[in-house]
Structure 1
Amino acid sequence: MIESWVINDDSPVPVSSEAVVEALRSRIASGQLETWLTSSSGRSLAFVTNTERALVMLLDSEGDPGEHAVDLGAEGTSDGFVLSDGQGDEYPDEDTVPIGEAFRLVRHIVGAGSWPTDAHRVVDR
C-alpha cells in the first residue's frame, strides 16, 4: 500500500508530492506558518516556518520525539516561527533549514515516504 498524506486542517483529500509545496505556499501567504500533515499509516510531518527558514519534523506516531532536518554549521537563531495557537518560537538556525530546502524535503517525504538520502537530520528518539 502506498502511503498518502493529508493536511490536518484542510480537506481530507490526500495531497500529492506535486501539490504539497503549493499548498504550503498558500498557507504561508494566508498567515498560517504551522502545518501538520498526517499519513495513512499514522505518521506526522510538521512544517513550521518564519517564511525564510523552516523546522521540518517527521514523527512515527503520537508521542514519538521523531527526527528533524538540520542545517549543519549554521550559526545564530531565528525567530518569527508562529504556531497555530499564536505562540511565537525562536529556534537555533542549525535546527531549521532554508525554506527552499524545507519545501524539497516535504515534497520528497510526501512522495517517497522517507527523507531524501542527502538530507541532514537528527534523530531525537
Structure 2
Amino acid sequence: MIETWAFGEGALPVTADEAVHELGRRIADGHLESWLTSSTGRCLAVTTNTDRAMVMLLDGEAGSGEHVVAPGAEGVSDGFILENGQNDEYPDTDTVTLGEALRIVQHVLAHGGPPPDTVWNADH
C-alpha cells in the first residue's frame, strides 16, 4: 500500500509538492502550526516562527516519534504560535531553518522517511 498524506482527517491527499505549497500558504496566512496525517496513521507536524521550524514525525497522534535537530546551532527562538494561541520558544538546536523544514517535509512525503543527511532526536 502506498502511503498518502493529508492536512487533517477527511481531507484530500496531497502530493509532496502540494504539501510544501500549502504549508507556505498557511504560514503566509499566519497559521504557524500544521499537521499532516498519513494513511498509515503517522503524523508530521510543522510549527514555525517564519524563520525556524520544529518538525516532528510521530507514529500516531499520541504515539512516540522524533524531531529534527540542528547540532551546533546556538540560541533560542520564540514566536512559535500554536493553534491554541500558546507562544512557544525552542532552543535553536531543536529547530531548523524554514527552508530546511520544507525540504524535509517534501522528502518525507515523497520517500516515506527523512532525508539521510538530517539528524533526529527521539521523543519519549
With normalisation by structure 1, the TM-score equals 0.95
Gaps of 5+ in 1: none
Structure 2 partner of 1:88: 87
Structure 2 partner of 1:32: 31
Structure 1 partner of 2:99: 100
1:24 Cα deviation after fit: 0.3
- The answer to whether structure 1 residue 117 and structure 2 residue 116 are counterparts is yes
Structure 2 partner of 1:7: 7
Q: How does 1:50-89 map to 2 (within 5 A)?
A: 50-89=49-88
Distance across 2 between alignment mates of 1:65 and 1:94: 20
Gaps of 5+ in 2: none
Give the AA of the match of 1:4: T
1:21 Cα deviation after fit: 1.0
Distance across 1 between alignment mates of 2:61 and 2:30: 26
1:113 Cα deviation after fit: 1.1
Distance across 1 between alignment mates of 2:62 and 2:103: 26
Structure 1 segments of 4+ aligned residues over 4 angstroms from their partners: none
Distance across 1 between alignment mates of 2:61 and 2:85: 22
CA displacement, residues 73-106 of structure 1 (integer Å, 9 cap, x when unaligned): 0011000000001110000000000011000000
1:63 Cα deviation after fit: 2.1
Distance across 1 between alignment mates of 2:26 and 2:61: 24
| More displaced 10-residue stretch of structure 1: 48-57 or 11-20 | 11-20
**Residues matched between the structures, number:** 124
SS in structure 1 at match of 2:109? helix
| More displaced 10-residue stretch of structure 1: 46-55 or 16-25 | 16-25
Structure 2 partner of 1:21: 20
SS in structure 2 at match of 1:115? coil
With normalisation by structure 2, the TM-score equals 0.95
Give the AA of the match of 2:7: I
